[in-house]
Homo-oligomer: A and B are copies of this chain.
Amino acid sequence: MTTIDLNSDLGESYGRYHLGNDDQVIPLISSANIACGFHAGDPDVMYQTVEMAEKAGIGVGAHPGFPDLDGFGRRKMDLSAAAVTHMVTYQIAALAGFTKTHRLHHVKPHGALYNAAGKDLALATAICQGIKAEDPHLMVYALSNSALVTAAQNLGLPVAQEVFADRNYQADGSLVPRSQDNAVLHDPDEIAKRTISMIKTQSVVAVTGETVPIKVDSICVHGDNSAALEIVKHLTQALKQEGIAIKTR
């Protein structure tokens, strides 16, 4: 039976600030990327989110980001390679402390760290060294075909290549930047159909018409608003009808 992993960013609340619909998203997905207190999340939120994810039996992963709460980790910071490595180890280890086994399932860099690591092999390598220092068995979630995939493979870390259900692709396999009008898909039906096609064909049709080969180990979905939740619900039903099981790797 074909299986696919669905991952989503969770635990992004902070103190008095509530963000996301974690309780509604968790039943729909198989892997959680949990913020670690640098760009979002605090120790209380981390504890609660890990507990929810463990109860649901989904993969508990760390979602380390730049130390920039005001920018939600979405603003690139020029950190030294050593600083990146150490801040990644710090965040992963802190999150692991809240799990029962103190072992995580995976790590997915967040926001600007994720985007930059997709193109910058030195940065991606610094991230992966921070991951390996914590646990060489941790699976790295990385944009399909990106520098982060290469860095993780170079260091012998397991990799899950991921695609975005609701984002358009360019001919080189990169995402259409959010600054462009056609960056994001909104129609739940179109999103579900295209996602299933990506899983089955391990390719995607770029906005310019080319068929681009991609590796689809995991699908990233969002749940931070009601429209996003509807998209995930529709997608999970469509996957069920196709006989594709949602399962962590």
Comparing A94-102, A164-172, A189-197, the segment that makes contact with chain B is: A94-102
Find the B residue at minimum CB distance from A84.
B43
Task: For the complex formed, measure the closest distance between the CB of A101 and the CB atoms of chain B, giving whole angstroms.
Answer: 12
Is A207 an interface residue, CB under 8 A from the partner?
no
Is A86 an interface residue, CB under 8 A from the partner?
yes
A14–B83 Cα distance when bound, in Å, is 12
Task: For the complex formed, measure the closest distance between the CB of A177 and the CB atoms of chain B, giving whole angstroms.
Answer: 14
A89–B47 Cα distance when bound, in Å, is 9
How many residues of chain A are within 8 Å of chain B by beta carbon?
Answer: 42
Query: Which B residues are CB-close (under 8 A) to A68?
Result: 67-68, 77
Interface residues of A (CB under 8 A from B): 14-17, 19, 37, 40, 42-44, 46-47, 67-72, 74-79, 82-83, 86-87, 89-98, 102, 112, 133-134
Find the B residue at minimum CB distance from A135.
B102
Partner of A97, one of B16, B44, B69, B134: B134
Contact A79/B89 with A17-B14, A17-B19, A133-B97 known, Cβ cut-off 8 Å: no
CB distance B19 to A83 under 8 Å?
Answer: no
CB distance A70 to B102 under 8 Å?
Answer: no
